[in-house]
A and B are shown apart, each in its own frame.
Chain A
Amino acid sequence: MSHPQKTDLITSSLPQQAEGTVKRRPSGRRFRNLSLYLLLLPTVVYVFLLHYLPMGGLIIAFKDYNSFQGIFQSPWAGMGGFEHFYSFVTLPNFWAIVRNTLVLSVASIAFNTVLPIILALMINEIRVGWFKKTVQTISYAPYFISVVVVVGMLFSFSDLERGIFNNIIAAFGGTRSNLMESQNLFAFIYVASGLWQGLGWWAIIYVGTLSNVDQNLHEAAVIDGAGRLRRIWCINLPAILPMAIIMFILSIGNMLSVGFEKVYLMQTDSTLAVSEIISTYVYRVSLGSRLPEYSYAAAIGLFNSVINIILLVTANLISRRVSETSLW
């Protein structure tokens, strides 16, 4: 079943050799490609306006921006423009915020990298067609539910008197408590609900790779007397490892960019000590504040991006050394 797809890919990449023929076209052809540039134009303009202009706007991180003077007229910040970076790094809460961000992201990365692989390996072993499809359909469902709804469910389920979570705890003889107000549980609830949502979805890419594994390998292994577990370990796992490494590098590159929405929605006053992360702090001092500190917030955002890029490049470098898998 996997073979036709593979050969399709190979033959479709063959015509690359025909490239030379394109260049020997009558000169009139060159202008025909004008229409291609016109097709490209709207998106190029869009990306310029909404992606590149904001990059230029980062200059306010080095200024004392106020909306009256605008981006260019506003005065430069103190300390050679680095005042805002300095005040963030010396903030009493700085290490707490960085630690909270790292705890949530490292825990997420660890579970979100490993568990989908295990799920995919197991789904791949289901030999009953309709059952496999049903399991997969169900596994995707939570992914399509919005963050707002998921967090809303968490609050309802955790309700002290009537929430199902507390009902279950009480049924097993535990004491009811306000779960969403618990500092100890915040990271657990964050990661567990994330897994509920994404596990099935993240496994798709591995399930797809596994269905393309050469069946001859398996047949040969069976003849050599290899059991199911052995074949999973020696054939299926190595088949999806390169993909897993790529996903891992990408998630390292986003380590400090823990999703804003979910944490922001999950925050309660009593969990702030563990739930304040970089992105929620940026929002709190800027758009979420009555006295927005735009420049300060932009500086934190820039600080965050620079570290993300350093992490991405480092992770990629290590991966290239160790496993010869690389993003570029």
Chain B
Amino acid sequence: MMIENRGKDKVFNWVILILMGLYAFVTLLPLLHVLANSFSSADAVNRGAVGLWPVEFSLESYARVFREESILRGYMNTLIYTAVGTVLQLVLQFTAAYPLSRRDLKGRNFFSFYFVLTMFINGGLIPTYLVVKALGMLNTRWAMIIPGCVGIYNLIIIRTYITSSIPWELQEAAMIDGCSNVRLFWSIVLPLCKPILAVMTLYAIVGYWNAYFNSLMYMWNDDLYPLQRVLQNILIANDTGNIGGSIGSGEQALLSESLKYVTIVVSSAPILFLYPFFQRFFEKGLMVGGVKG
């Protein structure tokens, strides 16, 4: 589209293509290595013979992982936490963001301040733990779902998206026609929020799928452990019970090395398949956040 076909520019374009190709390849390398290992025989993995292509192709490790009870249970738990958590998070963020976007809402500035303040000041680990405990959530499924459910930064991004991309006259016109606030939110604003809704849905799913912190702080019942907590025991073999416990050594032999690679693939694949479908919305979502902090 521009006059960029002179000789010098052609060289420049090629240099960029090569550099970026290299960057993309290097980024992919660790993932390819994991994938190759997961499809190799346990013996080849233990010899460290696998590079970027499977050695002695084998699906045995996959078969074993899918029989591993702790992994299956972790998977189920994480599916529950992700499903419930995502819905709850989206509801809480959008129902709060919409009123905040309304310029005719009295006390709008107060509520904005009320939310934003918590981005800069927080109680920290122990006071939050005590509150979670007082609310009776310790060692229950809610401990994985409720703490950290609402992202204030996300809430502000949604609010900014609504104010900057949905014309106020549209809402006013609907109100004059006798449209109620709830209906306005549900039938007019939400459908126009699709890009930001997509971004927030992805954030929520990824956040809950990869959540680990809450299980470490608020849970000690194996039956409730999310996938990531199970993975920690398998991949890093760090017994959190003893302080400064041995990490990475000794107990590793519990599951052979090849099983680790399979668990990595099995646990990360769903998200890695999911995000490209949301990709065109990322940019938009992140850009809106930058418009106003």
Contacts and interface: CB of A to CB of B under 8 A. Distances in A.
Contact of B146 (A9, A18, A50, A136): A50
B19 A149 contact: no
B130 A50 contact: no
A227 B123 contact: no
A261 B167 contact: no
A287 B231 CA distance: 21
A39 B127 contact: no
Contacts, number: 322
Contacts of A260: 213
A268 B150 contact: no
Nearest to A52: B118
Contacts of B111: 40, 44
Contacts of B279: 136-137, 140
A215 B240 CA distance: 56
What is the interface residue range for chain B against chain A? 35 or more
Nearest to A128: B17
B248 A155 contact: yes
A113 B106 CA distance: 39
A47 B17 contact: no
B194 interface: no
Interface residues of A, number: 120
Interface in A243-268: 243, 246, 253, 260-261, 264-265, 267-268
Contacts of A119: 23
Contact of B212 (A9, A147, A279, A294): A147
Contacts of A297: 125-126
B53 interface: no
A156 B235 contact: yes
Interface stretch (A90-98, A103-111, A182-190, A200-208): A200-208
Interface in B151-202: 152, 155, 164-169, 172, 180-182, 185
Nearest to A219: B2
Interface of A: 8-9, 11-13, 15-16, 18-19, 21-23, 32-33, 35-37, 39-40, 42-44, 46-47, 49-58, 60, 71, 119, 122-123, 125-128, 131, 134-142, 144-149, 151-153, 155-157, 159, 161-164, 166-167, 180-181, 196, 199-200, 204-205, 207-209, 215, 218-219, 222, 227-229, 243, 246, 253, 260-261, 264-265, 267-269, 272, 279, 282-284, 286-290, 294, 297-298, 301-302, 304-305, 309, 312, 327-328
